[in-house]
Structure 1
Amino acid sequence: MRPHLVLAKNFNGETALHLAAKKWDGLLVIIVLLQIHHNWLQSLPQNLQDANDLLRTKNERGNTALHELLLSDQGATAEYLIRQDPELSYIRNNKSQSALYLAVRSGNVDCVSLMLRLCSDEERVNQLFNNKSPIEAAIIYKSKGVLEAIFNTSPRLIKVKDGEGRNPLHFAASLGHLEEARYLLQRYAPNACKRDKNGMLPIHLASFEGHVDIIRLLLQDFPDPGELLDGDGCNILHVAAKSGRYNVFSFVLNNPHLNYLINMQDKSGNTPLHWASMYFNLKIVNTLTWNSKVETGTVNNNEQTALDVVEYYMPHNPQFRQRLTWAALKAASIPRNCSKKRASSRSKITGSYKDRVNTQLLVATLVATITFAAGFTMPGGYISSEAGTNSGTATMLRDKGFHVFIFCDTIAMYSSIVVATVLIWAQLDDLKFTLTALTLAVPLLGIALTMMSMAFTAGIFVVVSKLKWLSTTILAMDISFVAILVLLLLPLCAPLTSRSRILRYLSYYPFCWLVHLSTN
């Protein structure tokens, strides 16, 4: 074999050494190739030797032969190459993965220990841990044995920070890997008090990701989370409010020693309720508004209450979740302290409510028309004029199902007429009056729709009552649909924004159902 052919590459940029590294039985071939290449290099001038180094040659993916060995989990052969050239541990591929990173990811304790022992340049090792940190890989893949190998070989690495200023405990807390976090805490507890470039402690990252077990672990050594603040003065509840981690709130609210956190203000004066409102985290907002320990009227440095914050950040066409967040705060009697943005968009809000008024007016008119017509087309018809004194009366007059039909149809018609009348008054250009009209009209319209459905059910049942199997089937089917209708109408008709304590309690479960729907 001609020595210079050892450096020849195929279409994927792979040398013979790369190809041999992919074979499980390629160790002997690798040894022979390296010996041939070594002998050939000796015949070259010094300035050409580095440029023709076979071990450091990369393929199209940026992998050296050592990368390929570690990717195919050939630890013994990889150790041979590491001893041949320890510098290979520093080389990164196109994904910025060093050979050391791949060794950690594959859980190869022997290769990791060997690399760290042979890598004498501390500055270059630190660079490896600043970007695509091997420690991060060990935590991601839960390789506790590799972590022990890293810190036993180079204890100083437990203090090394990545490009964002995060130490190993930050990684474990962010990922929620409890055993690895416990090991790191036992190994070097002061890391729990080290901040990253954003001023975040490990406990803040755990809170942001909702890892309650990590929070509980970190609080064992640092029991006062009120002192554990990030660069903006936020505690773990502020952070959880931003990311919507309800489980963190449940943990804190169920722990009497931590309840004081719920009213703490950050540097901007925002409480957890402010932050949850700002990010429209509905479930958290709803829970806090029902908690008697929460001071709902607190204002921030901009003189804004939580309701002000919601109205300031709410878009002109809010999503359902955003509307419910506003409703939860309104029902909790949280005051307004400023309304600059709302005043500027008053005309758009008025237009939105007018559309709702027109839609409901149309539905009410249709219900009134249908129920009026049903009142004169009775199920079963009328007794003919030849029947004497009973002429013109309904043939089913004595039937109980007919009585249900009459009652429901009458209630539906008059309810819809009242709704139509109220909504006609709502056409006046008065936002407050429009809101009052809608508050009254929506429940009545819900009653009208329900009664109309029940009237239809009763009418059909009366007509087919002689055939038992058919009447039973129709009744069961119609009752199911009416139940679904009521379930859908109940949240719409419930006084969700009422500040009356009684009405608020009555609408609690419908509101919780809406919260569940909007958060899932």
Structure 2
Amino acid sequence: MTTYMDLVLFKAAAEGDSGPFENDQTRLDQLLTPDENTILHVYLGNQSRKLKATDFVDKILEMCPPLLLQANKKGEIPLHLAARYGHSNVVSVLIDRARALPTDPESGETEAKKMLRMTNEEGDTALHEAARHSRGHVVEILTKEDPEFSYSANVHGETPLYIAASIGWYWTAERGKVVNEILGNCISVDYGGPNGRTALHAASMKGDDVFIDLLVSETARKLLEKEKTLTKTTDENGWSPLHYAAYFSTWLNVSAVKVLLEYDASAAYIAETEKKRTALHIAVIQGREYVMKEIVSGCPTCCDLVDNRGWNALHYAVASKDTKVFKKCLEIPELARLGTKKDDNGNTPFHLIAALANKNHHWRHVLFHETGGQIYGLNKRKLSVNDIYLGEFGEIQKEILESLEDIGSGPIGRSLFVLKKKNNDEKIKEEEEALSKARESHLVVAALIATVTFAAAFTLPGGYKSDRGTALLAKKAAFIVFVISDAISMVLSISAVVIHFLISLIHGFELVKRKDISEDAAMTLFGIATLLTMIGTGTMIIAFITGTYAVLESFLGLAISTCLIGLSFFLLVGLVFHFIRKDLKDNIKF
């Protein structure tokens, strides 16, 4: 008959106090929580630090041996919890206790191995739990105890090795140890994961960090040393580990790509099931310059492969709608020669660029400066590059827009991509609104200060000498401080106004591009507005300088000091332009 633990007994179990249980007349295997956790479950789940002493576990199992294999509602035995929380000493004690039990006469399986192979309701063994929580020492104990067993996948399709190789949001040396222990101790290893992926797929998905890159690439190397065919194993989408490495790698972490190509350069030939994209196509559409170079240098002939529409890597560079990506591709000779290659509709990459160049000056610049006088021929509509540029051909533009949808398919799934993009867009919108309100407040304050200081410079305290128009109090120390402070305030406030103006300029231009308004007209208006504003600001500063000099001319030192402070405005603006020159160069051309 089940008896629920009262508060006193629960606290005693959580703290590892065996005293109250020695005097309790209830059978300990019937003393449970509503989730059917036993005393050992409660104890192991409430220890925040790794346990050195195992006295409580020993005493409880002496009093009630059946607790060793008793599961809670989730199907977890004490070994699951000990593995999850990294209590390696307790794991050893539990295994020793199980070894002491008689072997099953029918199966010939020892109780220790039976315990290690027990699964919870999600199909996880203790090794799954230890791998998921990066408990390297526990994994070492478990795999050495039962090296012959091939730990199969849980209900989610995850094997312990797949879990260990999955980077998630982080990677540690301890997680690397988990992989090493499984590969080193297990005789038969299951590499499988969900959706047809393997542990090598999981290892190829990593974060943007050099340390992580080194650990993960080493993991990939160890996996391939054990099983070289993993490079050719594809998931349900037809994605190989190299596809994933190309998708997730950045300039900081290309080691996994190098390792995959080192073991099997032919992996670059593998095309996905539906759209027939290779890892090179993925690297280009993602703008991974360093990954492109690694793939091309490791397998140059893969550049000739095309997708299900006949698009090569250079077509994908255009599909990215990023001129920088396209120019980087042209710097790679093997990719640059693809400029004359046609897709299934007879379009070369430059036919697609011509369609974009109608409304985008960046692509117009590429079209005029990168063609090099080459003849690209006619497409299947009998149209040349020049015909498309001069005419209106929405079909080709539609093809390009549809190609961008490819980014949402593949490893992360289209629906997740759209959801992520929506969430990001909402977040960006909220941040933009908050920033806009803050900028409005700052701008009002800065403009007010500029107005007051400008007026104060010509309404000087004490007035002027009627015969010369110079300040009466110019020799007073307090007046000198007033004039210099006023000049500094004027320069700083006007500088703040100019900075806010430049922020609005860049932000406004980005909005124009998002809304697909004619960029030529926008650039012309922005250019004129910028020029007029900057000239007007500069002349206001000059007016301030010359006006204050006129009233302080008799006191040359003070006049020169005030003028120098005023002229520092141009230095400050120059520094601002220096820091934002890249954004201005990329977005605004006068």
Pairwise TM-score range, normalised by the shorter structure: 0.5 to 0.7
The one-letter code matched in structure 1 to 2:29 is: V
TM-superposition CA deviations, 1:437-496 (whole Å, max 9, x none): 66666545544444333333333332233411111111111443366469879976xxxx
1:157 matched residue in structure 2: 189
Is the Cα contact below 8 Å between 2:52 and 2:89 reproduced in 1? no
Query: CA separation of 1:54/1:228 partners in 2, compared to 1, >3 Å: closer, same or farther?
Result: same
TM-superposition CA deviations, 1:241-286 (whole Å, max 9, x none): 2333333135457x4x655555642232122233344344564234
Distance 2:247 2:293 in 1: 14
Deviation at residue 14 of structure 1 after TM alignment: 2.7
Deviation at residue 209 of structure 1 after TM alignment: 1.5
Aligned counterpart for 1:240 among listed residues 272, 283, 290: 283
2:78 matched residue in structure 1: 65
1:18 matched residue in structure 2: 41
Distance 1:480 1:247 in 2: 37
TM-superposition CA deviations, 1:154-181 (whole Å, max 9, x none): 33315x3223222333232333412222
2:198 matched residue in structure 1: 167
Distance 1:182 1:94 in 2: 34
1:106 matched residue in structure 2: 135
Distance 2:352 2:122 in 1: 43
2:489 matched residue in structure 1: none
Query: CA separation of 1:187/1:477 partners in 2, compared to 1, >3 Å: closer, same or farther?
Result: same
Return 5+ residue gaps in structure 1 as ranges.
Answer: 42-52, 315-321, 344-379, 381-430, 493-509, 516-520
User: 5 Å matches for 1:4-403?
Assistant: 4-10=27-33, 13-21=36-44, 24=51, 27-38=54-65, 55-58=69-72, 63-82=76-95, 84=98, 85=111, 86-91=113-118, 97-104=124-131, 105-108=134-137, 109-114=139-144, 116-117=146-147, 119=149, 125-128=151-154, 131-139=157-165, 140=167, 141-142=172-173, 143-157=175-189, 160-175=191-206, 176=213, 177-210=216-249, 211-223=253-265, 226-231=268-273, 232-251=275-294, 255=297, 261-262=302-303, 264-280=305-321, 283-288=324-329, 293-296=336-339, 298-301=341-344, 335=385, 336=388, 338-340=393-395
Is 1:2 paired with 2:25?
A: yes
SS at match of 2:70: coil
Distance 1:90 1:514 in 2: 65
The one-letter code matched in structure 1 to 2:57 is: I
1:471 matched residue in structure 2: 563
Distance 2:27 2:221 in 1: 53
TM-superposition CA deviations, 1:46-67 (whole Å, max 9, x none): xxxxxxx7623226x7643112
Distance 1:96 1:311 in 2: 56
Identity %: 16
Distance 2:521 2:59 in 1: 91
Deviation at residue 77 of structure 1 after TM alignment: 2.4
The one-letter code matched in structure 2 to 1:106 is: R
SS at match of 2:222: helix
TM-superposition CA deviations, 1:138-159 (whole Å, max 9, x none): 334555554444345433315x
Query: CA separation of 1:453/1:235 partners in 2, compared to 1, >3 Å: closer, same or farther?
Result: same
The one-letter code matched in structure 1 to 2:152 is: N
Distance 2:156 2:182 in 1: 15
Distance 2:40 2:521 in 1: 82
Is the Cα contact below 8 Å between 1:265 and 1:271 reproduced in 2? yes
Distance 1:437 1:182 in 2: 54
Return 5+ residue gaps in structure 2 as ranges.
Answer: 1-23, 99-110, 207-212, 372-384, 399-457, 459-515, 554-558
Query: CA separation of 1:326/1:82 partners in 2, compared to 1, >3 Å: closer, same or farther?
Result: farther
Distance 1:261 1:25 in 2: 56
Distance 1:146 1:436 in 2: 58
TM-superposition CA deviations, 1:425-444 (whole Å, max 9, x none): xxxxxx99x87766666545
Using the TM superposition, name which of 148-157 and 264-273 deviates more: 148-157
Query: CA separation of 1:97/1:305 partners in 2, compared to 1, >3 Å: closer, same or farther?
Result: farther
Distance 2:233 2:363 in 1: 38
Number of positions where the alignment pairs a residue of Structure 1 with one of Structure 2 = 383
Distance 2:117 2:353 in 1: 51
Q: Which runs of 4+ in 1 moved over 6 A?
A: 307-314, 322-325, 434-439, 485-492
Query: CA separation of 1:201/1:460 partners in 2, compared to 1, >3 Å: closer, same or farther?
Result: same
SS at match of 1:161: coil
Distance 2:521 2:130 in 1: 70
Is the Cα contact below 8 Å between 2:68 and 2:94 reproduced in 1? no
Deviation at residue 94 of structure 1 after TM alignment: 7.4
1:393 matched residue in structure 2: none
Is the Cα contact below 8 Å between 1:307 and 1:326 reproduced in 2? no
Distance 2:31 2:531 in 1: 84
Is the Cα contact below 8 Å between 1:56 and 1:64 reproduced in 2? yes
Distance 1:239 1:71 in 2: 37
The one-letter code matched in structure 1 to 2:236 is: K
Query: CA separation of 1:147/1:453 partners in 2, compared to 1, >3 Å: closer, same or farther?
Result: closer
Distance 2:320 2:220 in 1: 29
1:372 matched residue in structure 2: none
The one-letter code matched in structure 1 to 2:126 is: A
Is the Cα contact below 8 Å between 1:133 and 1:162 reproduced in 2? yes
Deviation at residue 206 of structure 1 after TM alignment: 1.6
SS at match of 1:73: coil
Per the normalisation by structure 1, the TM-score is: 0.59
TM-superposition CA deviations, 1:320-339 (whole Å, max 9, x none): xx978756755666844842
Is the Cα contact below 8 Å between 1:90 and 1:128 reproduced in 2? no
Distance 2:310 2:234 in 1: 22
Distance 1:340 1:267 in 2: 18
Greater RCO (Cα-Cα under 8 Å, separation 6 or more):
1
Distance 2:64 2:352 in 1: 70
The one-letter code matched in structure 2 to 1:30 is: V
Query: CA separation of 1:103/1:54 partners in 2, compared to 1, >3 Å: closer, same or farther?
Result: same
The one-letter code matched in structure 1 to 2:540 is: F
